[in-house]
Structure 1
Amino acid sequence: MLWLVDGMNVVAAGPPGWQRDRDRAMAELVAELETYVARTGDDVCVVFERRPRPLLRSPLVEIVHARRRGPDAGDFELVRRLRACQAPTTVCVVTSDRWLADAARALGAAVVSADHFRRRLAQV
């Protein structure tokens, strides 16, 4: 299964205080996703609205930054990637954004909330 993750939705569903250091919160999420991939073998692509500083790299998780700027830029990038998938029914989109969830379902993908995925990360 491929997980397309709305990165900042999952960050915001985590421990409080993430707003004080968004770059650190993004790095911590990538580390959690790496552990998840290593333990499950699932594929994960996390999409962020902007590039963190320093730039994140991962051998296990695909880290993507929205191509454009502005509100919902990450959501549009997730939809673009989902449209490019040859088998969207094998994809699960992680988001708490209603518009993105509806768009993903319309394209044939499954959807889980950021809170649900956070609980999944904690269980693995």
Structure 2
Amino acid sequence: MTTVLVVDGANVVGARPDGWWKDRAAAARRLHAQLLVADIEYDVVVLVLEGQAKGGVPAGRDAHVRTVHAPKDGDTTIVAEARRAAENGDRVVVVTADRALDARVAGAGATTLSPTWLLDRL
């Protein structure tokens, strides 16, 4: 069974007050770089970016990290990614602190972890 970690990029970046709001694309680039070298126990990491953050990392696969650009809101894309992975029989975990999103991804077959959990591993 493949393990998939879907990362709510905006939520994770926003959990650390490091000036990310001054340059959202650079913040997304930093998060992507950290995910590439992170020691986490997931086969695939799906980084979902929205808005200005999409300018920091091109959509596509880079090693075990796949970056997805949300066409509209990030939450809808995160739910779709979680649902697709769960339907493939994968074990899916979504990283977010958004309670409404937590409920939506649970309905799609995923569990959630907090941004702090991820940031502690980066």
Other-structure match for 1:32 = 34
Aligned identity (percent) is 34
Q: CA deviation at 1:54?
A: 6.5
8 Å CA contact retained: 2:28, 2:56: no
TM-score, scaled to structure 1: 0.81
Stretches of structure 1 that go unaligned for 5 or more consecutive residues are: none
Structure 1 pair 77–56 and aligned structure 2 pair: CA distance change class (3 A): closer
Moved more, 79-88 or 28-37: 79-88
The CA deviation string for residues 28-66 of structure 1, in whole angstroms up to 9 with x for no partner, is 0000000026x6463100001132156466333100011
Question: Which one of 15, 18, 36 corresponds to residue 16 of structure 1?
Answer: 18
Aligned residues: CA RMSD: 2.2
TM-score, scaled to structure 2: 0.82
Paired with 1:54 and 1:34, the residues of 2 have a C-alpha distance of 12
8 Å CA contact retained: 1:27, 1:56: no
Paired with 1:78 and 1:17, the residues of 2 have a C-alpha distance of 24
1:64 aligned to 2:76? no
Other-structure match for 1:94 = 95
Structure 1 pair 31–100 and aligned structure 2 pair: CA distance change class (3 A): same
The CA deviation string for residues 50-99 of structure 1, in whole angstroms up to 9 with x for no partner, is 3215646633310001122xxxx001001112222225660000011111
Structure 1 pair 108–49 and aligned structure 2 pair: CA distance change class (3 A): same
Paired with 2:36 and 2:15, the residues of 1 have a C-alpha distance of 18
Q: CA deviation at 1:3?
A: 0.2
